[in-house]
Amino acid sequence: MDLHLLTELDELPAADWDRLLAAQDAPTPFMGARFLRELARRSAVPETGWTPCFALLRDGGELRAGCPLWLKAHSWGEFVFDQSWARAYAQHGLRYYPKAVVAVPFTPVPGSRLLAVDDAARRLLAQGLMAFAEQQGLSGVHLLFGSAADAQALAGLGWATREQPQFHWQHEAAWGSFDEFLAALRRDKRKKIQQERRRVHEAGVSVRVQVGQEIGAADWAFFERCYAATYAVRGNPPYLAEGFFAAALPDWVLLTAEQGGEPVAASLLAWDRQRQVAYGRHWGCVRDIPCLHFELCYYAPIAWCIANGVQRFEGGAQGEHKMARGLLPTPTRSQHWLRDARFADAVQQFSEEEQAAVAAYEEALAARSPFRSAPLR
């Protein structure tokens, strides 16, 4: 088998790629050819520090494995933080960048990264990535938010593992309505949610939900205004370029908050219809209204998920406050291979120590469940 590298994603064999993705242990819409191509056309581009170099493993003309590979000049937009490693390299007169990253840019959603027809091809692909980093003199390769099959392929190859929790909501069979979901929560959590929703209602705010083709050009324009405003508060430009969302996926769910007949805020979910999973992605507002963030980013999405039979709602990166809204900690992993053996050993030791601290943190979180009894799994 031969390893091919693509720098132009217009050449990505979309049909073969998507068939391969569908056969993986944890496929998501964000790993689809359409989404990745739009990222490479508009946002994850060399000018922003993301150079596409997708790896394809072929046997003759057959695609046996592949992954989204980027050469990075920085660590922004990854949601796994290794800037301290870069500083350590610099202190020793070494260059940490460029590095290779197997990831979906700006998208901290766990799922399959090393797409392959079987475990043997997946491991060959991983070994090919390491060989490529050696040949190019890269500091290493980093696989972010990967799946169990990805981790298995990297076992024994010298990759360090880091874990961090995200917060996901799971639809229990007994919850036929939002009120039934609330009834499963502890009294203090239930009262807090009811109070927050009441404040939004008393402010005269209603939420309008649109799905897929129902979202028009004016709706997208307002959402993008809100999205940009979220970044502007921090003095940064938005990661994703204007026009990206409408082009990247067909199944978005747009929730727009309106007050006095005018839109004042919006949040966006991605919906995997086949697997009945929703992914909370972005939000923003043009008018500051107390508790509206919680309504648009958690309560209205959960109510929509219950009404539409969605089985899981992933709330995005970080955010311990999500637990009080019924989202429970779920471990996610990233894995890292550094070419310099000295730094590889140091990172391995660091990762083991970090994992012990993360495990203790996750145990403490588990003891603070917002539910009256443990949800079924």
Question: Based on the domain organization, do 112 and 140 belong to the same domain?
Answer: yes
Is 324 among the domain residues? no
Question: Based on the domain organization, do 73 and 138 belong to the same domain?
Answer: yes
Question: Based on the domain organization, do 221 and 343 belong to the same domain?
Answer: no
Question: Based on the domain organization, do 178 and 210 belong to the same domain?
Answer: yes
Residue 377: per-residue pLDDT = 47
Cα separation of 131 and 117, whole Å?
A: 21
> In residues, how long is the chain?
377
Residue range 113-142: mean pLDDT, rounded? 98
Question: Based on the domain organization, do 336 and 362 belong to the same domain?
Answer: yes
Is 127 among the domain residues? yes
Domain that holds residue 234: 172-310
Question: Based on the domain organization, do 219 and 290 belong to the same domain?
Answer: yes
Residue range 159-188: mean pLDDT, rounded? 96
281: CB partners within 8 A, 6+ apart: 268, 269, 270, 316
- The token pair at 323 is 């637990």
- The token pair at 223 is 């959402």
Residue 376 has pLDDT above 60, yes or no: no
Q: Average model confidence (pLDDT) for the chain?
A: 96
Residue range 277-297: mean pLDDT, rounded? 96
Is 60 among the domain residues? yes
Question: Based on the domain organization, do 150 and 180 belong to the same domain?
Answer: no
Question: Based on the domain organization, do 120 and 156 belong to the same domain?
Answer: yes
Residue 186 has pLDDT above 60, yes or no: yes
The DSSP secondary structure of 16-45, one letter per residue, reads HHHHHHHTSSS--GGGSHHHHHHHHHHTSS
Residue range 214-239: mean pLDDT, rounded? 95
Quickly state the pLDDT bin for 332 (edges 50, 70, 90): very high
CATH code of residue 52 = 3.40.630.30
Question: Based on the domain organization, do 248 and 188 belong to the same domain?
Answer: yes
Q: pLDDT tens digits, residue range 132-168?
A: 999 999 999 999 999 999 999 999 999 999 999 999 9
Is 375 among the domain residues? no
Return the ∠ at Cα 238 (arms to 7 and 143), rounded to 5°.
Answer: 45
Residue 375 has pLDDT above 80, yes or no: no
Quickly state the pLDDT bin for 321 (edges 50, 70, 90): very high
Question: Based on the domain organization, do 185 and 160 belong to the same domain?
Answer: no
Full-model pTM: 0.96
Question: Based on the domain organization, do 205 and 154 belong to the same domain?
Answer: no
Is 12 among the domain residues? yes
Is 323 among the domain residues? no
Q: How many domains does the chain have?
A: 2
Residue 61: per-residue pLDDT = 87
Is 316 among the domain residues? no
Residue range 259-263: mean pLDDT, rounded? 96
Q: Can you tell me whether residue 339 is helix, strand or coil?
A: coil
Is 376 among the domain residues? no
Question: Based on the domain organization, do 61 and 200 belong to the same domain?
Answer: no
Residue 366: per-residue pLDDT = 86
Per-residue CA distances from 251 to 227, 254, 273, 274 (Å): 18, 10, 8, 11
